[in-house]
Amino acid sequence: MSTINAKENRAITADSRRMEPLLNGFLMLILEITSSLN
């Protein structure tokens, strides 16, 4: 059971690491749009 949980945790951390650049780019895009509107 513990090995399965470890595998799931590794998969979750890998997914979050993959999503981080996308989220950062999305936030930067929103900041650029809001700053250009002001």
What tens digit of pLDDT does each residue of 1-38 get? 567 788 888 888 888 888 898 999 999 999 999 999 97
Q: What domain range includes position 25? A: 1-38
* Location of structure tokens 């470890």: 6
Query: What does pTM read for this prediction?
Result: 0.52
Strand (E) or helix (H) holding 1:
none
- Looking at the 3D structure of the chain, how many domains does it have? 1
The encoded tokens of residue 33 equal 């749009």
* Location of structure tokens 């650029």: 32
Residue 1's pLDDT is 59
